[in-house]
Structure 1
Amino acid sequence: MNLIRFALCLGVVLASPLAFAEATQYPLTIKSCNRDVTFDQAPKHAVSHDINMTQMMLALGLKPHMAGYSGISGWKAVTPQMKVILDGLPELASKYPSVETLLNANVDFFFAGWDYGMRVGGDLTPQTLTPLGINVYELTESCAFVMKRPPASMEDTYNDLRNLGRIFDVQDRASALIAQMQAKIADVQNTLPTSKPRVFLYDSGEDRAMTSGKLGVPHALIEAAGGNDILSDIDASWTRINWETVVERNPEVIVIVDYSEVTAEQKQRFLETNPALQSVDAIRNKRFIVIPYVQATPGIDNVLAIETLAKGFHPQ
């Protein structure tokens, strides 16, 4: 059973009179990056930005609390499964919503991240939205853009699910979903060999490579799947590096993120035909793994990414 289907079933089970966690007591104060955010009640008109955060909200059964979502159709193709789940929920903006868009929808909660709908000094930030009555919760992994923090791990996503559970008073759903994710990852890790191939994640770019350092979730996925992230010493989240660095560190496997107008096949063809990369082991041996954007960004589909990566890293 995949996690989105599990979460939908979970909503039915936990709608029963049985309850396990103590109900949220409002006002509730939550830590979001380096801020404290206080909620007087569960949000009633929430908006999630990007497919990964929208998936988290829907997996927790929060559709009735949502005014809509943003930042999906303008960047990524919506899968048939996601289309069914999103049915009836309006997309307020195909890419980035404006402050006016959120105000017109009477939004009281915005779930987004730095470099996932928000940018430092931009129009949409906690500093601009809070005075307008819109509480902002920041994606934990993205906090690396605004504060010093440790390398990314799956605990970042678990933290987000726990906090959403408390904010919306659905702690049981959050706990059950986290347990399901942890169990699936443990199943994968129990079968991993001790050998770890050198791995490079390629998002996009030709002059330079868009990739992720140790503060981005791809680092956590590669390590959890039994790989050795060649950029584990880079103190950055999503970032750009020179091709010389890739050649020097000589990855044995290249993970390609599939999204947007440039297809994964086109990205692979570029890598295979780039004269500067012909000495790289992954290129010579044609060892490529493709994962979709929603699996490469923090969210419940990280479990699917870890399963796919582990099989690709250790085909034996």
Structure 2
Amino acid sequence: MKTRILALFLSLGATSALAFPVTVDNCGTPLTFDSAPTRAVVQDINMSKMAFALGLQPSMVGVTGISGWYKLDDEFKRLQGSIPELAPKYPTMENLLAANPDFFFAGWYYGMKPGGDVTPDTLAPHGIKTLVLTESCVHLDKARPAASMELLFGDIDKLGRIFGREAEAAKLIEGWKAELASIEEKVGKDTGSRVFLFDSGEDKPFTAGKFAIPTAMIAAAGGHNIMADMETSWGTTDWETVATRNPEFLVLLDYQDDTGYLKLLNFLKSHPAMKETDAVKNERFVALRYEELTPGPDNVAAIGKIARALHPEAF
């Protein structure tokens, strides 16, 4: 019996050793890990939730960019536990180096700015490897495919491989795909129902374009993002274009609480062009939080919310 147990132990050890090195695609550049990171820092609420969904808390020494933007619920606080927040918004180099990390998960305009002080290139000399959120790669590489749910699945898979949590990642992805298949069976996919996402902005609306995950989410919920031809991920357009395309349904982004969307809705009701659109006249909308509309574990449940509000007859 002892011989069999020893053989099994050696077999498992060999399997673990063979798992590394791991190389993942990082915005078109290979990123290799000889072992799993042990001192990770994660930016933003959506990426932190990705890490929590994989149970990476024991390997995390900090989060950044959360309390300065969003109101946190009790569940997030529970999952965060004793992991400190190193910076409430964008971290500085000093914030990060003080935690002595070996890994940073962030994105362009999700904690990093091209040419800024904190980038993969500036962190590398300090022994910090940076995984870039795939949705944000378009800011440096315009030759990216349009948004799909692979933006979420791919990043979860990468995190799973990097931290030796492949099985956990695969289980999450399998469950999400099953939920999406169930929704599509009920409502179809991209039925042409005209949807506009309103994030913020009065002079010009800030919204999701071709490369942002809400475009894929809206399609999965049986709608069509009227700004899906906007050649960016997140960006501004003009009210004339939005009103001319006459959205039938709105997705309103709620940053701080469960009533913040009312400011957006009231603004639209007072706007001379938008108040004439079908969506505003009929008050057809769903309010979703930031972490539901940026790549993360909350995406699939949010797709269900959009689908139910857009196609109530199907549920």
Q: Is the 8 A contact 1:24 1:166 kept in 2?
A: no
- Pick one of 218, 226, 241 that aligns with 1:245: 241
- Pick one of 170, 173, 176 that aligns with 2:171: 176
| TM value normalised by structure 1 | 0.91
Instruction: Tell me the CA shift for residue 272 of structure 1.
Output: 1.1
Matched, 1:100 2:97: no
Q: CA separation in 1, counterparts of 2:62 and 2:218?
A: 32
Partner of 1:120: 114
The C-alpha deviation readout for 1:127-153, integer Å capped at 9, x for no partner, is 111111110000111111111201111
Partner of 2:158: 163
Higher RCO (CA 8 Å, separation ≥ 6 residues)? 1
Paired residues for 1:224-303 under 5 Å? 224-260=220-256, 263-303=260-300
Q: CA separation in 2, counterparts of 1:39 and 1:69?
A: 21
Partner of 2:182: 187
Q: Aligned with 1:239: secondary structure?
A: strand
Matched, 1:42 2:15: no
Q: Aligned with 1:124: secondary structure?
A: coil
Q: Is the 8 A contact 1:24 1:169 kept in 2?
A: no
Structure 1 unaligned blocks of 5 or more: 1-16
Q: Aligned with 1:191: secondary structure?
A: helix
Instruction: Tell me the CA shift for residue 40 of structure 1.
Output: 2.0
Instruction: Tell me the CA shift for residue 33 of structure 1.
Output: 0.3
Q: CA separation in 2, counterparts of 1:58 and 1:23?
A: 24
Aligned positions, number:
299
Q: Aligned with 1:82: secondary structure?
A: helix
User: Kindly, what percent of the aligned residue pairs are identical?
Assistant: 46
Matched, 1:212 2:208: yes
Partner of 1:144: 138
Moved over 4 A (4+): 21-24
- Pick one of 94, 99, 104 that aligns with 1:110: 104
Q: CA separation in 1, counterparts of 2:16 and 2:185?
A: 33
The C-alpha deviation readout for 1:263-297, integer Å capped at 9, x for no partner, is 11111111111122122111111111111111000
Q: Aligned with 2:186: secondary structure?
A: coil
Q: CA separation in 2, counterparts of 1:114 and 1:240?
A: 17
| TM value normalised by structure 2 | 0.91
Amino acid at match of 1:233: D
Structure 2 unaligned blocks of 5 or more: 1-10
Question: Structure 1 pair 18/244, CA: closer, same or farther in 2 (3 Å)?
Answer: farther
Partner of 2:197: 201
Matched, 1:132 2:129: no
Q: CA separation in 2, counterparts of 1:193 and 1:133?
A: 47
The C-alpha deviation readout for 1:138-194, integer Å capped at 9, x for no partner, is 011111111120111111111111111111111000000111111111111111157
Amino acid at match of 1:182: K
Amino acid at match of 1:306: I
Q: Aligned with 1:269: secondary structure?
A: helix
Q: Aligned with 1:278: secondary structure?
A: helix
Instruction: Tell me the CA shift for residue 18 of structure 1.
Output: 10
Q: Aligned with 1:161: secondary structure?
A: helix
Matched, 1:26 2:20: yes
Q: CA separation in 1, counterparts of 2:101 and 2:215?
A: 33
The C-alpha deviation readout for 1:52-102, integer Å capped at 9, x for no partner, is 100000110110000010111100111111111111111111111111111
Q: CA separation in 2, counterparts of 1:24 and 1:94?
A: 38
The C-alpha deviation readout for 1:182-227, integer Å capped at 9, x for no partner, is 1111111111157431000000000000001110011011001000
Q: CA separation in 2, counterparts of 1:255 and 1:315?
A: 15
Instruction: Tell me the CA shift for residue 25 of structure 1.
Output: 2.9
Q: Is the 8 A contact 1:24 1:167 kept in 2?
A: no
